[in-house]
Amino acid sequence: MTQIEEVSLDQYKHLVSERALTGETMLLNMGPQHPSTHGVLRLLLELDGEIVVNCIPDIGFLHTGVEKNMEAKTYQKAEVMTDRLDYMNTMGNNLAYVMAVEKLIDVDVPARAQALRVILVELQRIASHLVWLGTSGLDLAAMSMFLYCFREREQILDIFELVSGQRMMTTYIRPGGVWRDVPVEFEKAVRDFIKVFPKRIDEYETLLTKNPLFIDRMVDIGYLSKETALSYGVTGPSLRASGVDWDLRKARPYCGYEQYDFNVPTRTEGDTYARYLVRIEELRESLKIVEQALNKLPLGPVRSENRKFVPPPRSEIGVSMESLIHHFKLWTEGFPAPKASIYSAVESPRGELAVYLEGDGGPKPMRVHMRTPSFDNLGVVPQIVKGYLVADLVAILASVDIVLGDIDR
Amino acid sequence: MDKKLEPIVKAVQSKFGATFEEFRDEVHLFVKPEQIVEALTLLRDEQNFELLSALTAVDYYPQETPRFHVIYQLTSITKNLSVQLRVPVNGTSPKVPTVTRVFGSANWRERELLDMFGIEVEGHPDPRRLLNPDDMEGHPLRKDFPLGYEEPQFTFNFDEIDLRKPYAKE
């Protein structure tokens, strides 16, 4: 039996100030089971009274070895692992991984599948921002926000259940297209959502945006400068709230984002309130993209015809010997990918979600690395909380929007 | 290769003697471990690569020289370009210098490198494991680290296997 080592200050000596060693400041443990850490995150805080002197995050409680597990599965089967990374952005994770695979094996995707991907990923962005809005409201004692946001999120999850059979672990976007075409009820379900949602955003804003209590807790709290943000690799809405206009959907359009007319909201203040405003504005922009994509949703196939990489539809297997062979080969052996590496990035609700994928000529990836945005967004938190109150730390942590599944992988 | 990237690649090549590879428009530059800090500083200050998007490694076990490639993925927001630097490292006592002074985000990513691959980072301000527990042995993302499995227990061998299981007992 292994002896559990006694925890001592020696381990953290180089990270805290000298005052902690004399006992002048207090070391306080926040988490791993704390409602405001949005998951299983432990923060070791050095406090001078109520002021944060140092903050040392301790992560890895949700580490599940996703990258190692993916190396042991074929390219198609490894995709289910991506759902479990950032559980608020499953469609986006699927898309990031699938795009890397498609780039590695060079498969084209039909236009209808591209448009469906855009609709679903943008709905997922809205759902993810709603969870952020609800939980950060909850952290700042706006209890009712949580209930309203989850009401609308449920509507989106119902759409996902309609298309993929699953609310959260969707695996709907597949290499070469999507799993299958959407059912006939899909259009009505999305239109219903588009119809009600603008009014709902106005409701949220009435409750929070000009609420004096909310403003007191948010304005001039957790200032993140442009230089710090870039040095620490912060991306997504948190970077755009610090005045950097960088959105991969605009800068390097994928899945046909160049056809849609939308704005990238940016702010220059760089505080917690700016990050809130950027995300609220993104809700409206995402809805605009969904509406445009749905209006010009083309007809046609939803999966590539390249049978060497993409399984044939079920209906063909009964009548074509060749399809049966392809189906069998693809699901038992998988397809070989070239001996090369790919770095492919998409814009997730939290920032740049990228996949580094390296093949070795066989049917299993040799290395998969998920570059997850929350990892860097949490990495900057110790820099921006110094000198604020513990209560502000909660607001700052909520405003950078972290998902621990995304960080620990 | 993107036209805008050509002069940048040339600059790095002439200064560090770097070789380069290209695959589907992605550019990989190979530099030596001792040049990496200088190369990243040059790219950040003179060529506007402000963002260190990713820092990770690949294990080419059983190949030993080089066994690992340490990967630095850079993004330029001003020029909308990407470039990847790769540092080949040998299998016996793998080592790279720290780049935390160039990019803050390297801090955690280098700790992950240490934790997952056992690649030592020279001069790192906080060299502790990041995701795995401190008392863990081995480096999970190395190819010679087993994926691990659990023996299935049946009625006839339940106690026998239970004795070998690594959880805490009375």
Number of helices (H), then strands (E), in chain A: 18, 8
CATH assignment at residue B34: 3.30.460.80
Residue pair A139/A395 in contact (Cβ under 8 Å)? The answer is yes
Q: Residue with structure tokens 């294990």?
A: B59
Average pLDDT over residues B159-168: 78
Map out the domains of chain A with their CATH numbers.
Answer: 9-58 (no CATH), 66-306+343-353+363-382+395-408 (1.10.645.10)
Please indicate whether, in this complex, the C-beta atoms of A59 and B131 are within 8 angstroms of each other.
Answer: yes
> B37 in contact with A at a CB cutoff of 8 Å?
no
| Cβ contacts of B129 on chain A, cutoff 8 Å | 60
pLDDT tens-place string over residues B29-60:
889 888 889 889 988 888 889 889 899 999 98
Please indicate whether, in this complex, the C-beta atoms of B54 and A371 are within 8 angstroms of each other.
Answer: yes
Query: In this structure, are strands B51-59 and A365-371 parallel, antiparallel, or unpaired?
Result: unpaired
Q: Let me know if residue B170 belongs to a domain.
A: no
* Res B93 pLDDT > 90: no
For the purposes of burial, counting CB atoms within 10 Å of the CB of A393, is it exposed (0-12), middle (13-18) or buried (19 or more)? Answer: buried
pLDDT tens-place string over residues A230-253:
999 899 999 999 989 999 998 899
Q: Let me know if residue B124 belongs to a domain.
A: yes
> ipTM score of the complex?
0.85
* Res A1 pLDDT > 50: no
Residues A389, A221: Cα–Cα separation, whole Å: 10
Quote the tokens at residue A238.
């948190």
Residues B40, B102: Cα–Cα separation, whole Å: 7
Number of other CB atoms surrounding residue A210 within 10 Å: 9
* Res B4 pLDDT > 90: no
Q: Residue with structure tokens 């290395």?
A: A367
Confidence (pLDDT) at A398:
87
Query: In this structure, are strands A51-58 and A42-48 parallel, antiparallel, or unpaired?
Result: antiparallel
> B128 in contact with A at a CB cutoff of 8 Å?
yes
Among chain B residues, CA nearest to A63: B131
Among chain B residues, CA nearest to A340: B23
A62, A342, A369: best to mutate for the B interface, most B CBs within 10 A: A369
* Res B17 pLDDT > 80: no
| Cβ contacts of B51 on chain A, cutoff 8 Å | 230, 233, 235
B77-103 in b/e burial notation, b at 16+ Cβ within 10 A? beeebbbbbbbbbebeebebbbbbebb
Q: Residue with structure tokens 């409206």?
A: A284
Average pLDDT over chain A reads 88
Residue pair A86/A93 in contact (Cβ under 8 Å)? The answer is yes
Confidence (pLDDT) at A210:
86
Number of other CB atoms surrounding residue A291 within 10 Å: 17
Please indicate whether, in this complex, the C-beta atoms of A379 and B23 are within 8 angstroms of each other.
Answer: no
Q: Which B residues 38-97 touch A at CB under 8 Å? A: 50-54, 56, 58-59, 71, 73, 75, 77, 80, 82, 84
Confidence (pLDDT) at A3:
54
Please indicate whether, in this complex, the C-beta atoms of A251 and B125 are within 8 angstroms of each other.
Answer: no
Confidence (pLDDT) at A6:
60
Confidence (pLDDT) at B9:
81
Average pLDDT over residues A48-74: 89
Count of structural domains, chain B: 1
Among chain B residues, CA nearest to A103: B24
Confidence (pLDDT) at A4:
53
Crossing angle of helices A143-164 and A111-139, in 10° steps, is 160
Residue pair B23/A340 in contact (Cβ under 8 Å)? The answer is yes
Phi-psi region of A232 (alpha: psi -120 to 50; beta: other; left: phi over 0): alpha
pLDDT grade, residue A129 (50/70/90)?
Answer: very high
Q: Let me know if residue B169 belongs to a domain.
A: no
Q: Let me know if residue B89 belongs to a domain.
A: yes
Handedness of CA A298, A299, A300, A303 (dihedral sign): positive
- Give A383→chain B minimum CA distance, Å: 10
pLDDT tens-place string over residues A307-337:
888 888 888 888 999 999 999 988 888 888 8
Quote the domain boundaries for residue B86: 3-164
B22, B24, B72: best to mutate for the A interface, most A CBs within 10 A: B24
Listing from the earlier edge strand, what are the strands of the sheet with B81-89?
B19-23, B26-30, B81-89, B68-76, B51-59
How many angstroms separate the Cα of B141 from the Cα of each of A66, A171, B8, B113?
10, 25, 33, 9
- Give B14→chain A minimum CA distance, Å: 25
Inter-chain Cβ pairs, chain A and chain B, closer than 8 A: 96
Please indicate whether, in this complex, the C-beta atoms of A63 and B104 are within 8 angstroms of each other.
Answer: no
Residues A223, A383: Cα–Cα separation, whole Å: 10
Number of other CB atoms surrounding residue B154 within 10 Å: 8
pLDDT tens-place string over residues A201-230:
999 988 888 888 888 888 888 899 999 999
Q: Let me know if residue B123 belongs to a domain.
A: yes
pLDDT tens-place string over residues B101-157:
899 889 999 999 999 998 999 888 888 888 888 888 888 888 888 887 777 788 888
Q: Residue with structure tokens 């690594």?
A: B166
Please indicate whether, in this complex, the C-beta atoms of A63 and B132 are within 8 angstroms of each other.
Answer: yes
Query: In this structure, are strands A42-48 and A26-30 parallel, antiparallel, or unpaired?
Result: antiparallel
Nearest alpha carbon to residue A156 among A115, A114, A127: A127
A67: Cβ contacts below 8 Å, ≥ 6 apart: A367, A368, A369, A370, A409, B141
Query: In this structure, are strands A173-174 and A177-178 parallel, antiparallel, or unpaired?
Result: antiparallel
* Res B64 pLDDT > 60: yes
Q: Let me know if residue B51 belongs to a domain.
A: yes
